[in-house]
């Protein structure tokens, strides 16, 4: 790990000015940052510790039915907040399907948004990586790339964003609250992460010094609470990143889908909102035919970036299954194996 | 840069002067406070051998910067027994052969104590296995570990009932 200066500001304005300088980064729990620093992938010259900043660790249920989640709320605390889990079950399930209990106890909401890709070539400093070193090339192309992107990738970068949490959030129109040198602004989560294009090193909309202070869900997000699920295929059932995941949320009335929300994880450099699939579902009768059509729409633009053609078929199957699970009644509590297609919930079949 | 921090470690207040902010909580415990029960396995948050309780919650101490935890209350494996009386989770690990080589055991036990405090798994073996998935055991003692956590969980529930009565 390189040496760095450590500062612990007491106010948000002080934090922003300390972090606006070149080479400075924010430190919250550090569960991703310290790992990157130990590997020499991140080499900041200043850590601005934001863990003592006031007012960033609250979950506020708003009068319009929405919720405002402070940037420093820990993943486990959010997932186990009873009102939150009942109102946004797919978000809670996604949180509990990620990482391990120890990491969820530490990792923060904003840190989840800002975590870096787990592409092995990004992590290996002996490999060429345009994201780590612009212009260096991409060893993932032509390398071990069966887990890489199938949507929105470019010749410069085929890495995926690893978050589970962001997938239902983007489906439910989450908004990111940012405080910066020019005051406060909101950005839709869908616009927060960037696709790689020719500049894969630019991963999000943040400018120097910008601090994510909260994530908000609008009141409408709660109207999907009866029919929302997150489903995640992993190479082992627990403590693994998604090969492909999907968040599905439906509003059903009189036997018809009134509104649908769908997003995919593990497929692109950002949580991938599948709006054409949502359009295909609106007004349809919930059932296998509609779910298949939506799944096909969700991957219509997908193409393999390497040895990962299988992820396109897998994504379709996961979307169909997530929609079918969402259409049935939501489980009374989060399953023992959160988001697993091999869930041990009674009555759910186990074959994929 | 000189950094001073104060931690309560296993009930005792410890004030430490650091000459470098890079020290993790794990290295602080092992190298500065000579509490080597907490193990360094992967040092990257993947194996769980370094699990300790910070303010009552289990975390990976290898991914925690020590200076950032100034003022925290830390419980390590050295602090769980009462004199010669083992902690119920320690006793359950022995009773159920929840280990072989023992390297991962301090982390397993601290993680199990954290899991029971979280009160999410109850007596469901599937939820216990899921809740313990952040602790790897290269010897593969998982079935003994699950049995041990299950028994310890039950003894905690009984102790709570006795206290309530």
pLDDT band at A350 (very low <50, low <70, confident <90, very high): very low
Q: What is the DSSP string of A101-138?
A: HHHHHH-BHHHHHHPPP--HHHH-TTS--TTTSTTS--
Same domain membership, residue B92 and residue B124: yes
Same domain membership, residue B75 and residue B100: no
A42 alpha carbon, distance to own chain's centre: 21
The answer for B134, left when phi > 0, alpha when psi is -120 to 50, beta otherwise, is: alpha
Same domain membership, residue B73 and residue B37: yes
Question: Residue A329: what pLDDT?
Answer: 75
Neighbours of A202 (CB within 10 A): 13
> Residue A307 is encoded by which pair of tokens?
């040895």
Query: CA–CA separation, A227 vs A244, rounded Å?
Result: 20
Which positions ≥6 away from B51 have C-beta within 8 Å?
A102, B38, B58, B59, B60, B61, B106, B107, B108, B110, B111, B114, B134, B135
Query: CA–CA separation, B84 vs A23, rounded Å?
Result: 51
Same domain membership, residue B73 and residue B7: yes
What percent of chain A lies above the pLDDT cut of 90?
95
Q: Tell which of B79, B98, B129 closes a domain.
A: B79
Given a cut of 80, whether residue A45 has pLDDT beyond it is yes
Query: CA–CA separation, A2 vs A205, rounded Å?
Result: 27
Fold (CATH) for A5-52: 3.30.43
pLDDT digits (tens, 9 = 90+) for B78-109: 999 999 999 999 999 999 999 999 999 999 99
Which positions ≥6 away from A338 have C-beta within 8 Å?
A93, A94, A96, A97, A230, B130
Question: Residue B165: what pLDDT?
Answer: 65
pLDDT digits (tens, 9 = 90+) for B32-68: 999 999 999 999 999 999 999 999 999 999 999 999 9
How many domains does the structure of chain B reveal? 2
For chain A, give every domain's residue range.
5-52, 225-327
pLDDT digits (tens, 9 = 90+) for A243-291: 999 999 999 999 999 999 999 999 999 999 999 999 999 999 999 999 9
Q: What is the mean pLDDT of chain B?
A: 95
Given a cut of 60, whether residue A349 has pLDDT beyond it is no
What mean pLDDT is predicted for residues A292-307?
98
pLDDT band at A343 (very low <50, low <70, confident <90, very high): low
Q: For the purposes of burial, counting CB atoms within 10 Å of the CB of A249, is it exposed (0-12), middle (13-18) or buried (19 or more)?
A: buried
Query: CA–CA separation, A233 vs A243, rounded Å?
Result: 6
Chain A hits for B63, CB-CB cut-off 8 Å, are 29-31, 34-35, 103, 106
pLDDT band at B2 (very low <50, low <70, confident <90, very high): confident
Chain B hits for A100, CB-CB cut-off 8 Å, are 48, 133-135
Same domain membership, residue B17 and residue B70: yes
- CATH code, domain carrying B38: 3.10.20.30
> Residue B33 is encoded by which pair of tokens?
């406070």
Q: Which domain holds residue B33?
A: 3-79
Are A119 and A140 in contact by the 8 Å Cβ rule? The answer is yes
pLDDT band at A346 (very low <50, low <70, confident <90, very high): very low
Does B126 or A349 have the greater pLDDT score?
B126
B53/A contact by beta carbon, under 8 A = no
Provide the residue count of chain A.
352
Most A CBs within 10 A among B21, B38, B63, B111, hence the mutation to make, goes to: B63
Same domain membership, residue B52 and residue B20: yes
Question: Residue A352: what pLDDT?
Answer: 37
Given a cut of 60, whether residue A351 has pLDDT beyond it is no
Strand positions, DSSP E, B63-131 = 73-75
Given a cut of 70, whether residue B127 has pLDDT beyond it is yes
**Tokens 């959030």 identify what position?**
A169
Question: Residue B155: what pLDDT?
Answer: 85
Q: Tell which of B34, B59, B79 closes a domain.
A: B79
Most A CBs within 10 A among B130, B131, B146, hence the mutation to make, goes to: B130
- CATH code, domain carrying B158: 1.10.150.120
Given a cut of 90, whether residue B16 has pLDDT beyond it is yes
Same domain membership, residue B51 and residue B7: yes
A96 alpha carbon, distance to own chain's centre: 13
Q: What is the mean pLDDT of chain A?
A: 96
pLDDT digits (tens, 9 = 90+) for A178-222: 999 999 999 999 999 999 999 999 999 999 999 999 999 999 999
What mean pLDDT is predicted for residues B13-34?
97
Question: Residue A345: what pLDDT?
Answer: 52
Give the torsion through C-alpha atoms of B58, B29, B70, B11, to 10 deg. 70
Q: Tell which of B79, B102, B131 closes a domain.
A: B79
Least Cα separation, residue A115 to chain B (angstroms): 14
Domain A225-327 has CATH 3.40.50.300: no
pLDDT digits (tens, 9 = 90+) for A98-147: 999 999 999 999 999 999 999 999 999 999 999 999 999 999 999 999 99
Same domain membership, residue B159 and residue B98: yes
């Amino acid at each position: 790990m390189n040496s760095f200066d450590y500062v612990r500001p007491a106010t948000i304005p002080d934090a922003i000015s300390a972090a606006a300088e070149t080479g400075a980064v924010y430190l919250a729990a550090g569960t991703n940052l310290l790992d990157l620093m130990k590997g020499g992938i991140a080499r900041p010259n200043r850590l601005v510790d934001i863990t003592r900043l006031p007012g960033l660790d609250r979950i506020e249920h708003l009068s319009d039915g929405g919720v405002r989640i402070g940037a420093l709320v820990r993943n486990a605390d959010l997932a186990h907040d009873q009102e939150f889990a009942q109102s946004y079950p797919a978000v809670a399930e996604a949180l509990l399907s990620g990482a391990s209990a120890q990491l969820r106890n530490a990792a923060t909401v904003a840190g989840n948004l800002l975590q870096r890709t787990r592409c092995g070539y990004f992590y290996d400093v002996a490999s060429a990586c345009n994201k780590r070193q612009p212009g260096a090339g991409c060893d993932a192309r032509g390398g071990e790339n069966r887990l890489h992107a199938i949507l929105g990738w470019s010749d410069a970068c085929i890495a995926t964003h690893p978050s589970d949490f962001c997938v239902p959030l983007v489906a439910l129109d989450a908004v990111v609250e940012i405080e910066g040198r020019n005051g406060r602004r909101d950005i839709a989560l869908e616009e927060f992460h960037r696709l790689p294009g020719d500049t894969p090193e630019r991963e999000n909309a943040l400018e120097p010094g910008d601090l994510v202070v909260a994530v908000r869900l609008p009141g409408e997000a709660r109207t999907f609470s009866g029919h929302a699920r997150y489903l995640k295929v992993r190479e082992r059932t627990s403590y693994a990143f998604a090969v492909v995941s999907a968040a599905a949320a439906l509003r059903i009335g009189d036997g018809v889908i009134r509104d649908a929300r769908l997003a995919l994880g593990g497929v692109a450099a950002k949580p991938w909102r599948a709006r054409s699939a949502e359009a295909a579902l609106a007004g349809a009768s919930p059932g296998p035919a509609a779910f298949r059509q939506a799944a096909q729409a969700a991957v219509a633009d997908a193409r393999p970036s390497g040895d990962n053609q299988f992820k396109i078929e897998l994504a379709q199957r996961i979307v169909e299954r997530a929609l079918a699970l969402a259409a049935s009644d939501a489980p009374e509590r989060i399953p023992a194996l959160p988001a697993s297609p091999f869930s041990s919930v009674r009555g759910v079949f186990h074959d994929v | 840069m000189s950094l001073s921090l104060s931690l309560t470690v296993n009930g005792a207040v410890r004030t430490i002067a650091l000459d470098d902010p890079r020290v993790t909580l794990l290295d602080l415990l092992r190298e500065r406070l000579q509490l080597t029960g907490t193990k360094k396995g992967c040092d990257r948050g993947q194996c769980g051998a370094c699990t300790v309780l910070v303010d009552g919650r289990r975390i990976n101490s290898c991914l925690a910067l020590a200076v950032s935890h100034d003022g925290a209350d830390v419980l390590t494996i050295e602090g769980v027994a009462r004199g010669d009386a083992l902690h119920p989770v320690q006793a359950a690990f022995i009773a159920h052969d929840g280990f072989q080589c023992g390297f991962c055991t301090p982390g397993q036990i601290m993680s199990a104590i954290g899991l029971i405090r979280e009160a999410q798994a109850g007596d469901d073996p599937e939820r216990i296995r899921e809740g313990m998935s952040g602790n790897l055991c290269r010897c593969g003692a998982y079935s003994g570990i699950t049995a041990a956590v299950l028994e310890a969980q039950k003894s905690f529930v009984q102790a709570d009932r006795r206290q309530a009565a």
